[in-house]
Structure 1
Amino acid sequence: MNSTPAVLSVNARLAAELAVAEHQVAAAVGLLDEGSTVPFIARYRKEVTGSLDDAQLRLLEERLRYLRELDERRAAVLAAIDEQGKLTDDLRAALNAADTKSRVEDIYLPYKTKRRTKAQIAREAGLEPLADRLLADPSLNPEVVAAEYLGDDVADSAAALDGARFILIERAAEDADLVGATREKFWTDGVLRTAPRTEEAAKTPAGQKFRDYFDYSEPLEKMPSHRVLAALRGDKEEVLSLTFDGGDDDAYQAMVARSLGVDLSHPGPATTWLATTVRWAWRVKLMLTAESDARMRLRKKAEDDAVAVFARNLNDLLLAAPAGARTTLGLDPGFRTGVKVAVVDGTGKVVDTCAIFPHQPHKQWDTAKATLAALVTRHGVDLIAIGNGTASRETDALATELIAEIGKAGGPAPAKAIVSEAGASVYSASEYASRELPQLDVTLRGAVSIARRLQDPLAELVKIDPKSIGVGQYQHDVNPATLARSLDAVVEDAVNAVGVDLNTASVPLLSRVSGVSTTLAESIVAHRDATGPFPTRTALLDVPRLGPKAFEQCAGFLRISDGDDPLDASGVHPESYPVVRSILDRSGVQLAELIGDTRTLRALRPSEFADDRFGVPTVTDIIAELEKPGRDPRPAFATATFAAGVEKVADLKPGMVLEGVVTNVAAFGAFVDVGVHQDGLVHVSAMSKTFVSDPHEVVKSGQVVKVKVLEVDTDRQRIGLTLRLDDEVGAPKQSTQRPQRDRGSNKSPQKGQARSDKGGRGGDRRAAPAPTGSMADALRNAGFGR
């Protein structure tokens, strides 16, 4: 009878990882497998999952994918070993207990079909008994015993001993427990050291981007993602040489000896031969495996961190405050080619476009200002959106002068705001833009996008590939599939958190709604164009190919203003309308009276309206939604006011206190646009008087902040900023000065840093200071930036 324990179910493992009940996981997995989306499950199936939130569900979804792939691979390995007739109960138990793909592969290694190795050739020559004899009895004389195994394929004792050694080395290299143990020790104790690959490479312009890594080391476990990816990029560009140092070789060799059963302290003629075999097993096989794994693990950890940073920044940008349905004039600045101008009404419809040429070389300042004034008057412009690219500050000065003159004349003066152009050119040249704005030149489409993204950042940014929005950290160095999956999830969550106006939404926006594919979004828009606005949510069922399942998934996230049913403008799902009717019957009021009646709604007891289908969590959400139907979770609209006369880096002086907008948040700090065409960097150490482990705890992309200028390097266009406005400032840094130490790095040798050279490989053992974090461009040049 086979008593080998079976592998735990995926649901049981997920429950343990998430620290929730297995029935919650089973319910969530069932819904996901049925095609439900995370936003739908998190919001409308709380009773089913025990109120798992969207963050838990996203983690569950990601881990579910991994664990299912792990189980598929485990089953394939079990079948492959079983076909060989070598599957024992112990082996089955070991595979069932393997909790990672790498562990499964370690166990499978001895049974994997592979090319003929030197060890295999030695076995075929009958040398395995020689290896076993020397292993078992160190008192034997290797040369003498080896002479007994000579033959046609073994010319002499040296060849015989070499063959025996290859057999023992392979035996150690295929010991799954040993491989795993050395891998973990190497990761825990290991250090990455970087240096220039050649003197010539170091002197090139490309090499100078990595000069902070010319004499650098840091423990693998402690190395932050931005430094990992910078070092790996330097290696890829053949500027840097990377050395993975696991520390003292003696400790690893002792592990190998224990695995093979070698007692190196036992005196005997074979002991020296066995010691050499152990050393070779580590240096030739296991060390290379550990180095390769450390590199992959370091990259994976760095990629995960970088993707997480990108995801958080993207989420902040998508959920930035919308200016709302106000007529907006968008300005896409430029010098030689002029400033492209577009006016859009409150719905985002383009009502006017032109180009003006106020700057060099044309210098048509007054004409440009008169053109803009006419547009403001003609269309009742409320807002002016100015792109933050080339000629932004000059164009901002033009708008400032225009607004002042309109105010002096007694007219209603519009407000202005600087808007990130990130991704605008990508949108302008996209196929969707050519269909949406076929009558406009590519250059004018950018101005339209700038205006619209001030009105509603979310609705406009969903038209752009998330990777092109430019809020990532080393985004081109991470796995594209992982990045795309993460960013798509962020966009989906953001869109569904806000909700979408069914009668005005674009195809890209609708396609991000739960349960709506791009094809279905196109069908919805086509139906809307053909038959007019949707009067109710249920009218969606008239859209071709939109069935009950898709309706269930999307209906709660779609809004209809001024429709036949007021509930259609709320986040209450149509399936829950009967609960609202029950509340109305109990309250004795009309729906119009109940909506927004805080006193009456807060006096209700959700438990009195709950039943087998709609539990207390859902009823609680319904009551909250009736209090503020269709509420927007985004913050109130605000803009930064850039300092007058501060238009370029040279205008900045240490000690200046300025208002700016956070454009990007990284693991090491945040980039802030203070209106000089070059973002400054607030290092994580300059964000708060208390320790900050994550810059996102302090700021987020799109946030308006006040900063003090700490350092200015005009030659290299670098700006150091602080959020601590009482920080003292020093003299401006010169471009020839070596960057300061990263104050977030280790100041003293850590475990695995300062060690003896015994058994180590290559180079200076000093722990070099970490790269500077005080200047924006140095880090952007190494891979971070918009």
Structure 2
Amino acid sequence: MTSASTVLHQIESALTGELGVELSSVRAVIELLDSGATVPFIARYRKEKTGGLSDVQLRLLQDRLGYLRELEDRRSSILQLLTERGVLEPSLKASVLAASTKNELESLYAPYKVARRTKAQIALEAGLEPLVDDLLEVPLADLHDIAAAYIHPAEKGAPDDTAVPDTETALAGARAILHEYAVYDHELMDELREKLWNTGVITSKVVPSHRTVLAQETSKFSDYYDFSERIRKIPSHRLMALMRAEKSGEVKVTVDVAEVPGPKTGLKGEALARHQNLTEGYETARASFESAVAFALGIPVQILNTVSDDERVLGWLAATVRSAWRQKVLPRLAADLRTQLTERAEKDAAAVFASNLRDLLLAAPAGNRTVLGLDPGLRTGVKIAVVSPTGAVLDTAVIYPHAPQNRWDEALDQLETMVREFKVELLSIGNGTASRDTDRLAGDLLKRLAQQGNDGVQKVTVSEAGASVYSASALATEELPDMDVSLRGAVSIARRLQDPLAELVKIDPQSIGVGQYQHDIPGNILAKSLDATVEDCVNAVGVWVNSASPALLSHVAGINATTSEAIVKFREENGAFSTRQDLLKVPRLGPKAFEQAAGFIRIADGSEPLDASGVHPEAYDLARAIVHDAGGMQGSSVSAEKLAQLKPEDYVSERFGLPTVRDIFAELERPGRDPRPDFQTAEFTPGVETIDDVAVGMILEGTVSNVAAFGAFVDIGVHQDGLVHISQMSTGYVDDPHKIVRSGDVVKVRVTEVNAQRGRIALSLLLEEKPAKPKHVRGNHSSARTNASKPGGARKGSGVAHRRR
């Protein structure tokens, strides 16, 4: 077996090649990760060692490192198992060693891990392998004459099922052996898997129970009732939609060499011609795969095109090749490719969710302002909570302005009283049921206030996703123990306007609702991706330790849930932390955790001014020297003008390289800088409150609520987000919608289509309609794929594959 050092070297080389990173950087990152360092810490404070890799690059490297280590462990296990079973031929071993994905490994191992006795194994025990050789040698002979020589009872002591009572049993056993030869021929399977990936299609057809006009008009999956696309071209989001449509029971999804033609009964004209073309194309494509199977089994390819009766070996061999392809090879290859497609789609969907979550967490905070949160409702009323600039709850109430009670004026009076009493600056309105009605109420309130000389209050609609989850959580019970569950949502809606990051970390990321098919992604994959995103966002902003909640502190590098609770408890018992060094007094927070966390912890008005910055304590002496040379007092801030007169290069040492020195300069220029954008709000168009109010051609303002691989969803205030398809984002080509918009962006859009029955609104970022492009014939372009993207290893050599296992 391969030594540990050799495996590590192989992994390092693979990472270097895949990520385009220097080998020295890869080795440094692996060493740091293995020592317990966190990605935020490495990205921020170990740039010299990593070559300045970003947190995104480090996350990718960390994920690939884990995957490759698991891959090598599995490879070692499979080699050991194949060796113990005595089936590890040189060619199989070479394929196992060359496999670059877990899916490839499992595909190679799959034929050998069957626990039960297969039909082929029983036939081999019955001594029918020589019959296979005889049949291959005399293709023109009478079939049953050849098979008759192998009729015999079960040998003494052998299982009863090894008896061969007639020629039909003998021939069935011989066919099972040939089927197994094909499936066990890993070179053949690799070749056909590659070919099916490049030329095959994935299709979906509506099941009979949904073949109605009503179903096609109302189902959200009707686009997939008759769908076909090349396997290698289908985008991840479409694959996920296809799988969901199949799961719903409305369609059947298949993977095949080409689109399978349906019944031609009743077809005429163009429909019949299309059916004939499909039939010809399918038969031609299938024939090429069956020819490869025949060649690998040592059967003359010509027999597939020979007309022969069933009594001759020739016809039997042709039928055996076709059944091997249809019953054994194609189903296994289709399962392999579906697994590969699904894994890729899940990975892409998790990445989209993580990107949207990052945008949401790093959305512009309104800051320290008094906010009145409104959690809209009809029958149950609108829940209200006023929170102070520090997030403390000042007052709560429930008003009933909407049907069935319709106490509009009374609600306005109560809102006005609360705004005046607590000097409210912002109204935060949840975007759920009755949101637009509540927004209209808020609008009337602002008009009333403006008439009285108070025009400084603004209203903002925010996403209330996850607010109900928070309200019923143990954390909410601990934070707001004496408050009714229904009112806690209003508190969350108010606080998330003040600081989205600090509030949203209290909610399970999967409940925030900014994902693409997040419910179809395995929980462990999604959780890992989202937890990493939350950690990166929290550490990018930094945390004020004397006011942060345990939920927020738990995402600081080096700090877990237990440690965060200990920090808060220590703070409550001993008062506010005056320096970062005081963290070492917290039980269970040792030197390693302090090293990882200290740079991301902020302390305002403490005894050490640098504790309010992103400068790590390990570099305080250097920072003080820079401050001194800039004419400042020890540890104090300095003017940007004086700092600009110094050269970072002059402070480089063996311990601190130029990237770290430049970071220190940036921090001293603007201590504790917040990377988040400035706060802005969208203005919904008056009178556009439901989908029925939306008309084609309207120019509306809205907030990007979600970004997917195929476009972006925009909240225009009608309870049904509109979709800006990727093709409507720019006059040029767009490969990634995230390059155009981010969740939380305020945008102007043009309505291009409205389908109230299906609840769909199509929007465009192009406020003027694009001119139609001239039609042209699409060329048949192809491009080579890298080995990393291949579904199976390429077949080496062109000789006949071995028939024996």
TM-score higher than 0.5: yes
1:675 aligns with 2:712: no
The one-letter amino acid paired with 1:399 is A
Task: Give the whole-Å Cα distance in 1 for the aligned partners of 2:100 and 2:231.
Answer: 22
Shift of 1:751: 9.6
- Contact kept, 8 Å, 1:193 with 1:216, in 2: the verdict is yes
Q: More displaced, 36-45 or 223-232? A: 223-232
Shift of 1:557: 0.8
Residue 292 of structure 1 is matched in structure 2 by: 335
Task: Give the whole-Å Cα distance in 2 for the aligned partners of 1:236 and 1:121.
Answer: 37
1:253 aligns with 2:290: yes
RMSD: 2.7
1:318 to 327, 337, 361: 361
Distance 1:180 1:534, change over 3 A: same
Task: Give the whole-Å Cα distance in 1 for the aligned partners of 2:112 and 2:745.
Answer: 57
Shift of 1:67: 1.1
Q: More displaced, 54-63 or 688-697? A: 688-697
Task: Give the whole-Å Cα distance in 1 for the aligned partners of 2:643 and 2:599.
Answer: 21
1:727 to 746, 769, 781: 769
- Contact kept, 8 Å, 1:202 with 1:208, in 2: the verdict is no
Secondary structure of 2:302's counterpart equals: coil
1:175 aligns with 2:185: yes
Distance 1:131 1:479, change over 3 A: same
Shift of 1:337: 1.7
Residue 79 of structure 2 is matched in structure 1 by: 78
Task: Give the whole-Å Cα distance in 2 for the aligned partners of 1:111 and 1:399.
Answer: 68
Q: Structure 2: which 5+ runs fail to align?
A: 154-162, 259-284, 783-805
Distance 1:113 1:214, change over 3 A: closer
Residue 236 of structure 1 is matched in structure 2 by: 247
Within a 5 Å distance, the mapping from 1:170-319 to structure 2 comes to 170-199=180-209, 208-247=219-258, 248-265=285-302, 270-319=313-362
For normalisation by structure 1, the TM-score amounts to 0.88
Residue 101 of structure 1 is matched in structure 2 by: 102
Q: More displaced, 510-519 or 121-130? A: 121-130
Task: Give the whole-Å Cα distance in 2 for the aligned partners of 1:189 and 1:91.
Answer: 26
- Contact kept, 8 Å, 2:699 with 2:749, in 1: the verdict is yes
Distance 1:426 1:619, change over 3 A: same
Residue 561 of structure 1 is matched in structure 2 by: 604
1:128 aligns with 2:129: yes
Aligned residues: percent identity?
53
- Contact kept, 8 Å, 2:215 with 2:222, in 1: the verdict is no
Distance 1:364 1:240, change over 3 A: same
Secondary structure of 2:714's counterpart equals: strand
Distance 1:518 1:254, change over 3 A: same
- Contact kept, 8 Å, 2:376 with 2:433, in 1: the verdict is yes
Task: Give the whole-Å Cα distance in 2 for the aligned partners of 1:197 and 1:283.
Answer: 22
Distance 1:747 1:423, change over 3 A: farther
Shift of 1:64: 1.4
- Contact kept, 8 Å, 1:74 with 1:96, in 2: the verdict is yes
Q: More displaced, 436-445 or 155-164? A: 155-164
1:665 aligns with 2:710: no
Within a 5 Å distance, the mapping from 1:28-177 to structure 2 comes to 28-87=29-88, 91-109=92-110, 111-112=112-113, 114-135=115-136, 138=139, 142-152=143-153, 153-177=163-187
1:539 to 582, 605, 615: 582
Task: Give the whole-Å Cα distance in 1 for the aligned partners of 2:746 and 2:777.
Answer: 33
- Contact kept, 8 Å, 1:326 with 1:345, in 2: the verdict is yes
Secondary structure of 1:340's counterpart equals: strand
Shift of 1:518: 0.6
Q: More displaced, 582-591 or 173-182? A: 582-591
The one-letter amino acid paired with 1:357 is Y
- Contact kept, 8 Å, 1:560 with 1:568, in 2: the verdict is yes
Secondary structure of 2:170's counterpart equals: helix
- Contact kept, 8 Å, 2:728 with 2:764, in 1: the verdict is yes
Task: Give the whole-Å Cα distance in 2 for the aligned partners of 1:413 and 1:240.
Answer: 55
Shift of 1:6: 6.7
Q: More displaced, 256-265 or 571-580? A: 256-265
The one-letter amino acid paired with 2:46 is R
Shift of 1:74: 1.2
Within a 5 Å distance, the mapping from 1:687-766 to structure 2 comes to 687-727=729-769
1:164-217 alpha-carbon deviations (Å, 9 max, x no partner): 222121011011121122122222212222222123575786982322222222
1:546-574 alpha-carbon deviations (Å, 9 max, x no partner): 00111111111111111111111111111
Shift of 1:425: 0.8
Q: More displaced, 260-269 or 119-128? A: 260-269
Residue 483 of structure 1 is matched in structure 2 by: 526
- Contact kept, 8 Å, 1:2 with 1:89, in 2: the verdict is no
Distance 1:14 1:396, change over 3 A: same
The one-letter amino acid paired with 1:199 is S
- Contact kept, 8 Å, 2:610 with 2:635, in 1: the verdict is no
Task: Give the whole-Å Cα distance in 1 for the aligned partners of 2:573 and 2:315.
Answer: 88
1:634 aligns with 2:676: yes
Task: Give the whole-Å Cα distance in 1 for the aligned partners of 2:758 and 2:127.
Answer: 68
1:379 aligns with 2:422: yes
- Contact kept, 8 Å, 2:256 with 2:330, in 1: the verdict is no
The one-letter amino acid paired with 2:350 is V
Distance 1:310 1:654, change over 3 A: same
Shift of 1:222: 2.0
Secondary structure of 1:221's counterpart equals: coil
Task: Give the whole-Å Cα distance in 1 for the aligned partners of 2:95 and 2:301.
Answer: 29
Task: Give the whole-Å Cα distance in 1 for the aligned partners of 2:401 and 2:90.
Answer: 81
- Contact kept, 8 Å, 2:210 with 2:250, in 1: the verdict is no
Q: More displaced, 89-98 or 460-469? A: 89-98
1:386-439 alpha-carbon deviations (Å, 9 max, x no partner): 111122222222222222222222246311111111111111111110110011
Shift of 1:360: 2.1
- Contact kept, 8 Å, 2:580 with 2:603, in 1: the verdict is yes
1:314-337 alpha-carbon deviations (Å, 9 max, x no partner): 111111100001111111112222
Task: Give the whole-Å Cα distance in 2 for the aligned partners of 1:351 and 1:95.
Answer: 65
The one-letter amino acid paired with 2:121 is Q
The one-letter amino acid paired with 2:193 is R
The one-letter amino acid paired with 2:182 is A
Residue 778 of structure 1 is matched in structure 2 by: none
Shift of 1:446: 0.8
Within a 5 Å distance, the mapping from 1:340-419 to structure 2 comes to 340-411=383-454, 413-419=456-462
